Amino acid sequence: MMTSAGKAKRLNRLILLGFAGLFWLLPGAQGRADPVAVRTAVLELNPTAASESQLGRLDYLGGLILASEDGSFGSYSGIAADADGAGLWAIADTGHWLRLDFRRDDKGVPTDVSAAQILPLRDANGTAVTRKVLSDAEGLRRLPDGRWLVSFERAHRLWFYDQPGGAATGTLDVPPSVAQQPANGGIEAVAAFTNGDLLLFSEDMPAVNSTAGSAAWLWRKGAWHDLVWPARDDFKPTDAVALDNGDVIVLERFYMPIIGPKARLQRIPAASLEASQLQPELLAEWAAPYSVDNMEALDLRRMPDGSLWLYVMSDDNQNVLQRTLLMVFRLAP
């Protein structure tokens, strides 16, 4: 009899290879990168106090409101910023990649978009993946070896890519408990360490063998380890990024219809990863009147002065009542 772990591995490989009836091909999408016109507007940290630039332990450097008439634009849930700040890649939970190239001020902060492209998200056969159950990409990381890692929910899995827009080149087997996540509450956050370790966060799954928080999984030395993220105040993890010293910064979001959206950034000390219960420290939390939406994507740049620039982007769900925001913060060394 096949074990649950074996079944999960087999399903993951079947999904990667694809089979008839599960994948649809976007008309004309095969092998094509489509230019897209993106409009921008300046985003103040606090529209009611334009000079305000401090948010908790962070300094706000600037930001943009991004919009496009292209019907594919939006729903960005993961980002990977260029090391030199020239642009970024984003992944959409509707099944595509977005490339943004920036115009920047003399400090390097984005002030406009100079060029943008949309590329289809593909399976191992090079076929564009468009059916929602398979195209729901949530996390994006560029790995130390140059590959790209994308996490998916609904059909919970991790796929590797050699380049954005290319065919999937592999998969990483996940713990059997990953398959138990709610369809729309899976692996939202992925942190990749310089030594090859990974840290995954579930959006909505209770911690494995614990009632103290939500599930997280650490990939270390070829094995998965169950961890507990202390879910508090109805915030949920949506992205995470690892620092060179082993610390992890986690982006969280909150939403209730009467209250509206909130966002929070917390830092996990590297030593906390040695215990099963993660112990984060608050960096910043914000809500209206500060600029905020459904904040889902996070990446960082390491600066020559030792500071970190944090890039935070929102998922507008392709909803006319929401916005795609890009915010850039500085965390002092």
Residues 6+ apart with CB under 8 A from 131: 22, 23, 24
Answer whether 323's CB lies under 8 Å from 315's CB.
no
Per-residue pLDDT, 7: 45
Over its length of 333 residues, how does the chain's per-residue pLDDT go in tens digits? Answer: 444 444 444 445 444 544 333 333 333 333 468 899 999 999 999 999 999 999 999 999 999 999 999 999 999 999 999 999 999 999 999 999 999 999 999 999 999 999 999 999 999 999 999 888 788 899 999 999 999 999 998 888 999 999 999 999 999 999 888 878 877 778 899 999 999 999 999 988 888 877 778 999 999 999 999 999 998 899 999 999 999 999 999 999 999 999 999 999 999 999 999 988 999 999 999 999 999 999 999 999 999 999 999 999 999 999 999 999 999 999 999
Per-residue pLDDT, 32: 63
The domain spans of the chain are 34-45+55-331
Nearest to 229 by CA among 298, 180, 280: 280
Answer whether 135's CB lies under 8 Å from 77's CB.
no
Beta bridge partner(s), residue 225: 218
Domain at 34-45+55-331: CATH code: 2.120.10
